[in-house]
């Protein structure tokens, strides 16, 4: 490696550690394009030089403990800035509330500049270096990040890397006919090649945005638009695209973003004759971005949005020697959890968790019950078929259950992207509404309110029992219900995901102090779960974890062990009281009540759970 005179010792050392692999992968992907690689190195140093000293100090601290995100008790909260507090300054003003929620990992949903009505919730970015004016400025984002760092909180931000808005500067110049900018996208003179792509590339939104290409009348050409016609896919075959997008990512890191969420990362490499999903070149690009971050801002983490089955998700961790993403979404467990709520049968969830628990401990998952998106029923239907489950019929049952269309179902949700032909509709709704709290309150049924709220709390206990980073959806801490007002908004009414994207009700949030309210009961329960989760080593990510056999298909059992501490966690997904037929020899303490309890034939009320804890004194230091 030839060291340039302007490089300082720290940058040189970091680059030297990664240089050989960086150059090899870059040259392999871009056919030895020396000029592009030289620019790439210059871009890395420029971003390193522009990084302010406070962030460089944080980098050095995290470099000394590279597993800091596994070792710290991170608890996340995901929110839309406008829904939580109007704008970024509002979020900053409410950091006390966020900390009161026990949160130290703040995920801000897309807030970069996007065109109104053609933004897909902020995922059609027109400027990667400007915040949407209604939400504030890039300085406001930096100020918020600084304030979070003062409180030892990390900030996560979405980085939409598969596409830009059709209003992006590059897209505008492409529409003017400039070939240099058309080459940053996928433009075709006619439909012949796009038609060949369509033979092998699945449609993301077959009902609301069919096809993977759109006609651009300005230049009389076809452009690739995998998601929506106003989102133009970027051409990562072009090294300029990779260089400039990596530059944009590092720019956001330099504004204090600690975690970069790589949106739709499996889609970023397109190749004729393939599904254009999860291709080997995607992993090359992610590995290059990981090394770029390690050179410029090693305190930054990459969170991969890979919403697929485990066999396709796990490769995005890379290997121990050549890591890619630091964190990945545990999407299959999320979907399997809601399946279990509807069926009251834990066998699929046990099967799913057994797969996750068998993975190496260095794999860190982000666990969640709900997010900004819909719930897709991407379950393990090969496993379910042995119980006579038909995929199409089962998806219909799940959607009917959570819309309250089935007898004794209290769920209240709506369909998303309903496709009668493929019968592959997905589901929307807040956690509380899907659990039945909304129906119970509407009916003014106190017993039903108790039962549905207990289910909501039990699901959060299950969330905190898993290894990884638990993330709450803003509003879930006070059992916020569906927001049906989106039906009256012409810019939102066609997207049912806005059902669970309602603004935080601050009047309801004030009720968190009153233990006799739904909000107060939910808030205090989650705070207690968080406090217990942070007080015992057995909840550490490094703990051993396994599925405990309960000999009851309605009760899920999970065991955890670390440094002499053992936990038996039991979750009853039934509407009736059940018994977990476990027979553990030790004497335990129920962490929720503080009372001694045996782990033998444990009775669990309907929709409830038990955290049973014991400690082996002779194994302690």
Q: Which residues are catalytic?
A: 263, 305
State the residue for tokens 């016609």.
229
Give bridge partners of residue 365 from the DSSP assignment.
328
Backbone angles phi, psi at 221, to 5 degrees: -135, 165
Distance CA 589, CA 113 (A): 52
The encoded tokens of residue 299 equal 């305190």
Q: How far apart are CA 225 and CA 223, in angstroms?
A: 6
Contact 472, 101 (CB under 8 A): yes
Q: Which two tokens stand for residue 192?
A: 């012949």
Which residues neighbour 420 within 8 Å (Cβ) at sequence distance 6 or greater? none
Region of residue 564 (phi > 0: left; psi between -120 and 50: alpha; otherwise: beta): left
Asked if 121 and 230 count as a contact pair (C-beta separation under 8 A), the reply is: no
The helix (H) or strand (E) run that includes residue 291 is helix 280-296
User: Are 594 and 576 a contacting pair, CB within 8 Å?
Assistant: no
Beta carbons within 10 angstroms of residue 300's beta carbon: 26
Do β-strands 414-416 and 426-428 pair in parallel, antiparallel, or remain unpaired?
antiparallel
Would residue 475 be called left, alpha or beta, if left means φ above 0 and alpha means ψ between -120 and 50 degrees? Answer: left
Is-contact 253 261, C-beta < 8 A?
Answer: no
CA–CA separation, 233 vs 187, rounded Å?
Answer: 10
Cα 1 → chain centroid:
38
Give the 3-state secondary structure of 543-590: CEEEEECCCCCCEEEEEEEECCEEEEEEEECCCCCEEEEEEEEEEEEE
**Which of 506, 515, 398, 407 is CA-nearest to residue 453?**
515
Are 348 and 334 in contact by the 8 Å Cβ rule? The answer is no
């Amino acid at each position: 490696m030839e060291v340039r005179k302007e490089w300082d010792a720290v940058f040189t050392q970091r680059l030297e550690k990664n240089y050989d692999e960086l150059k090899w992968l870059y040259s392999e992907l871009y056919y030895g394009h020396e000029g592009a690689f030289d620019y790439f190195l210059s871009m890395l140093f420029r971003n390193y030089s522009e990084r302010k000293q406070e962030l460089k100090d944080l980098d050095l601290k995290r470099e000394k403990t590279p597993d800091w995100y596994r070792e710290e008790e991170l608890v996340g909260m995901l929110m839309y800035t406008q829904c939580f507090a109007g704008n970024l300054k509002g979020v900053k003003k409410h950091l006390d509330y966020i900390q009161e929620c026990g949160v130290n990992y703040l995920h801000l949903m897309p807030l970069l500049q996007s065109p109104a009505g053609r933004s897909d919730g902020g995922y059609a970015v027109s400027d990667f270096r400007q915040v949407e004016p209604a939400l504030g400025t890039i300085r406001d984002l930096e100020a918020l990040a600084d304030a979070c760092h003062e409180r030892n909180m990390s900030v996560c931000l979405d980085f939409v890397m598969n596409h830009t808005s059709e209003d992006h500067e590059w897209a505008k110049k492409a529409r003017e006919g400039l070939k240099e900018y058309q080459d940053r996208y996928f433009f075709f003179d006619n439909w012949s090649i796009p038609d060949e792509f369509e033979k092998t590339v699945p449609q993301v939104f077959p009902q609301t945005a069919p096809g993977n290409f759109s006609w651009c009348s300005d230049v009389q050409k076809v452009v690739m638009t995998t998601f929506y016609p106003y989102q133009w896919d970027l051409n990562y075959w072009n090294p300029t695209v990779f260089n400039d997008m990596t530059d944009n990512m590092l720019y956001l890191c330099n504004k204090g973003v600690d975690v970069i969420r790589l949106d739709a990362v499996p889609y970023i490499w397109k190749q004729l004759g393939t599904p254009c999903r999860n291709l080997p070149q995607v992993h090359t690009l992610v590995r290059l971005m990981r090394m770029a971050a390690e050179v410029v801002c090693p305190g930054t983490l990459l969170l991969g949005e890979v919403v697929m089955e485990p066999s396709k998700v796990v490769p995005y961790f890379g290997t121990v020697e050549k890591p890619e993403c630091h964190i990945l979404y545990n999407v299959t467990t999320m979907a399997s959890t809601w399946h279990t709520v509807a069926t009251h049968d834990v066998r699929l969830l046990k099967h799913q968790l057994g797969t996750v628990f068998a993975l190496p401990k260095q794999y860190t998952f982000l666990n969640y019950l709900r997010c900004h998106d819909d719930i897709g029923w991407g379950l393990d239907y090969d496993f379910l078929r042995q119980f006579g489950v038909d995929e199409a019929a089962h998806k219909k049952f799940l959607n009917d259950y959570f819309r309250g269309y089935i007898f004794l179902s209290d769920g209240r949700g709506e369909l998303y992207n309903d496709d009668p032909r493929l019968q592959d509709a997905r589901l929307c709704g807040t956690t509380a509404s899907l659990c039945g709290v909304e129906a119970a309150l509407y009916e003014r049924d106190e017993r039903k309110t108790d039962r549905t709220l207990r289910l909501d709390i039990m699901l959060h206990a299950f969330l905190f029992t898993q290894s990884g980073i638990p993330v709450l959806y803003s509003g879930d801490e006070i059992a916020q219900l569906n927001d049906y007002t989106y039906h009256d908004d012409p810019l939102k009414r066609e997207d049912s995901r806005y059902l669970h994207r309602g603004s935080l009700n601050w009047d309801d949030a004030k009720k968190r102090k009153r233990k006799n309210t739904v909000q107060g009961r939910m808030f205090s329960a989650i705070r207690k779960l968080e406090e217990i989760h942070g007080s015992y080593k057995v909840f550490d990510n490094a703990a051993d974890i396994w599925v405990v056999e309960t000999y009851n298909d309605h009760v899920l059992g999970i065991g955890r062990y670390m440094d002499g501490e053992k936990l038996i966690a039991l979750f009853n997904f039934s509407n009736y009281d059940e018994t977990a037929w476990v027979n553990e020899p030790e004497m335990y303490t129920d962490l929720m009540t503080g009372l001694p309890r045996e782990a033998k034939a444990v009775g669990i009320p309907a929709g409830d759970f038990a955290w049973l804890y014991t400690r082996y004194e002779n194994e302690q230091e």
